[in-house]
Amino acid sequence: MESKIKLFGHPVHPMLIPFPLGLLGTAVLFDLIDLIVGWESLARGAFYMIAAGILSALLAAVFGAVDWLAVPSGTRAKGIATAHGLGNVVIVVLFAAAWLLRRDDPPENAAGLPIVLEVIGVLGALVTGWLGGELVDRLGVGVDRGANLDAPNSLSGLPASPGATGKEGANVSRSR
């Protein structure tokens, strides 16, 4: 199943997910360092990274939702994609709650419940990230039908494999 929204021949959703993962993961790391060492500037930076991580997660979710709609119902992929998406919604809610709890004084309010919510969110992201990997690497969701080790550059305008049309039922050999 190919991704429905592409940019320069590649699915948009996987292009965007490094931003929320990196921002939110680094925010937690910065908050933990601040709690241990007392560097308030890191906690302040983490506060803004959480805001950016939430916004970038919402943007990635739009493209993920479009791809989710294209996954055939009744398949293992649909169930995993649903768990992946709903899990990520929970993660965004956890980080949003942590951000709201500390908004009045980001460095001072990073400890306690906000950091607990952040750590749970990062641990959840490990699970939903694995689910996303399962979708792509094991189930082929978002992968070009003709993908192979000698496929032409996506910018060439050529199909990934000779004879690949991108349509259902295309006769495509899959060598990986």
Q: Which H, E and C letters describe the chain, residue by residue?
A: CCCCCEECCEEHHHHHCHHHHHHHHHHHHHHHHHHHHCCHHHHHHHHHHHHHHHHHHHHHHHHHHHHHHHCCCCCHHHHHHHHHHHHHHHHHHHHHHHHHHHCCCCCHHHCCHHHHHHHHHHHHHHHHHHHHHHHHHHCCCCCCCCCCCCCCCHHHCCCCCCCCCCCCCCCCCCCC
Tens-place pLDDT, residues 146-163: 888 888 888 888 887 876
Q: Are 27 and 98 in contact (CB under 8 A)?
A: no
Does residue 175 register a pLDDT over 70? no
**Which region among 70-74, 97-101, 116-120, 165-169 has the lowest average model confidence (pLDDT)?**
165-169
CB atoms near residue 176 (< 10 Å):
7
Q: What's the pLDDT tens digit per position in 31-54?
A: 999 999 999 999 999 999 999 999
Q: 87: exposed, middle or buried (C-beta count within 10 Å: 0-12, 13-18, 19+)? A: middle
Structure tokens at 145: 């039908």
Q: How many residues does the chain have?
A: 176
Say whether pLDDT at 176 is over 50.
no
Domain range list for the chain = 6-144
Q: Sign of the C-alpha dihedral, residues 160, 163, 165, 167?
A: negative
- The CA distance from 72 to 88, in Å, is 20
pTM, full prediction: 0.85
Kindly report the backbone phi and psi dihedral angles of residue 7, in degrees, each rounded to the nearest multiple of 5, phi listed first: -130, 120
